[in-house]
Structure formats: structure tokens, C-alpha cells
């Protein structure tokens, strides 16, 4: 479960959030592979847990959190299959697409949060059931792991917002144009400047005719 909710599924969310600016659909492939790999591990872990406990009971907080997070995780593939068409470049997204994006993102983040809670309650359940001595050490290790992950997310989010602001400011400069552009260019004949014009003589050329001596 830790591999799924501590590495694969959060990694898929980070790929979808912070790798979209890269060229190609690499971020989408990473997102899909990590999400489906994590979901497969979660379902396999569920089967092992049911076989170990010889049943499925909602008596503990770990089982309740685990069932909720598995339900949220299973909603995501169905939600992805029903996603509306992505708008073309320059077109505004439809209301269905906007609602779908919010729903897909919120459900995914909630699944990870509940999954992390299921990990900690699972460690407590492991210590109570099997009397494992190093449960507290494992809890602290997981807490440090997720704290480092939270700091990485804050760092990536800061740089993502900086990148978006630079992109918006760059578009603004492109639309307004360069105000410092040299206006001495002759618009009718771009290869000639005003300085070139001043070098040309303003007076007419005089031709002196001399009689021919025969």
C-alpha cells in the first residue's frame, strides 16, 4: 500500500500538474502508467487483506479509510473514460470540460489524502494485531517521507506559478509590441533609412553641353 499511496499515485498527480508544459504527451503517459500501476497494487493488497482476515469488516478506522480511498481510486478510471473532448488551441473549454477537470482533480487529491490516512491507521492496526515493536519508527519514517513530499510540492508549485506569470507577461509584450522599435525606417522602402536619404544630394544634377569642334 505504501508503494501505491506513497509513491505511484502521488507521482501520477505531480506529473499531471507540473509536466504539462513539456512538449509531447509524455506527462500524460507518465500520469496514466503511474495511476493504473498504483490502482493494480491497491486492488492486489485488498485481496491479500481479505484473505488474511478471512472476511471484510468495517469495525476499524483503517478498513473504513481503506474502503473510501479504494472507492475514490476506482472512480478515476471511469471518470477519465467519460471525459469531454478537449478544446482546440485558442478555443474556450466547454462548461462540461471545466466541471470534469475540477471533479477529476478534486477526487484524485482526496483519494491520496484518504490513502495517506489509511497508511497511518494501517500501521496502528498492524501494531495492535501483531504486536510489532518498530511500528512507531515506521510511523515516523512515513511522516518524514510525506513531509519531504509536501516541501517538494510547495517548491514545484512556486516555480509553476512563476512560469505561468512569465508566460502571461510574455504574451502581453508580444501583443503590445516593442515600444522601443526604431521608427526611422522608411515604411515604403524598408531598406532605406532617413539617414540614407540625407546623404543623397538635394539639388538637381546639371549637365554642361559643349559644342563639338569639327
Q: SS3 of 211, please?
A: coil
- The verdict on residue 48 lying in a domain is yes
Instruction: Supply the range of the domain harboring residue 57.
Output: 2-85+93-162
**CA atoms of 120 and 138, how far apart (whole Å):** 9
Give DSSP secondary structure letters for 30-57.
HHHHHHHHHHHHHHHHHHHHHHHHTS--
- Inter-CA distances, 40 with 8, 36, 117, 140, Å: 11, 6, 19, 27
pLDDT confidence tier of residue 191, bands split at 50, 70 and 90? very low
The rounded Cα 33 to chain-centroid distance in angstroms is 15
- The verdict on residue 47 lying in a domain is yes
pLDDT at 210 (0 to 100)? 52
pLDDT tens-digit map of 141-181? 999 999 999 999 999 999 988 888 888 887 655 444 444 44
pLDDT tens-digit map of 38-47? 999 999 988 8
Q: In terms of pTM, does the model score above 0.75?
A: no
pLDDT at 196 (0 to 100)? 47
Whether residue 88 has pLDDT greater than 50: yes
- The verdict on residue 37 lying in a domain is yes
- The verdict on residue 64 lying in a domain is yes
Number of domains composing the chain:
1
- The verdict on residue 114 lying in a domain is yes
- The verdict on residue 153 lying in a domain is yes
Whether residue 118 has pLDDT greater than 80: yes
- The verdict on residue 181 lying in a domain is no
**Worst-scoring range by mean pLDDT, 16-25, 52-61, 96-105, 145-154?**
52-61
Do 1 and 52 contact (CB within 8 A), yes or no?
no
- The verdict on residue 43 lying in a domain is yes
**Lookup result for grid cell 478515476:** 76
Q: SS3 of 185, please?
A: strand
Do 34 and 9 contact (CB within 8 A), yes or no?
yes
CATH code for the domain of 40: 1.20.120.1770
Amino acid at each position: 500500500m505504501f508503494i501505491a499511496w506513497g509513491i505511484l499515485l502521488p507521482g501520477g498527480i505531480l506529473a499531471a500538474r507540473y509536466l504539462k508544459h513539456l512538449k509531447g504527451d509524455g506527462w500524460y503517459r507518465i500520469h496514466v502508467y503511474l495511476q493504473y500501476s498504483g490502482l493494480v497494487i491497491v486492488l492486489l493488497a485488498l485481496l491479500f487483506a481479505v484473505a488474511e482476515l478471512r472476511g471484510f469488516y468495517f469495525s476499524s478506522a483503517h478498513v473504513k479509510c481503506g474502503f473510501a480511498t479504494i472507492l475514490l481510486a476506482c472512480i478515476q478510471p471511469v471518470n477519465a473514460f467519460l471525459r469531454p473532448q478537449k478544446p482546440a488551441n485558442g478555443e474556450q473549454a466547454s462548461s462540461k470540460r471545466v466541471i470534469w477537470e475540477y471533479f477529476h482533480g478534486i477526487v484524485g487529491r482526496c483519494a491520496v489524502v484518504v490513502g495517506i490516512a489509511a497508511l497511518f491507521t494501517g500501521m496502528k492496526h498492524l501494531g495492535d494485531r501483531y504486536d510489532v515493536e518498530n511500528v512507531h519508527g515506521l510511523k515516523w519514517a512515513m511522516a518524514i517521507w510525506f513531509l519531504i513530499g509536501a516541501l517538494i510540492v510547495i517548491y514545484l508549485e512556486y516555480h509553476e506559478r512563476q512560469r505561468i506569470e512569465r508566460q502571461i507577461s510574455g504574451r502581453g509584450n508580444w501583443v503590445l509590441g516593442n515600444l522601443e522599435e526604431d521608427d526611422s525606417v522608411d515604411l515604403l522602402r524598408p531598406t532605406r533609412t532617413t539617414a540614407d536619404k540625407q546623404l543623397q544630394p538635394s539639388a538637381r544634377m546639371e549637365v554642361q553641353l559643349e559644342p563639338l569642334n569639327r
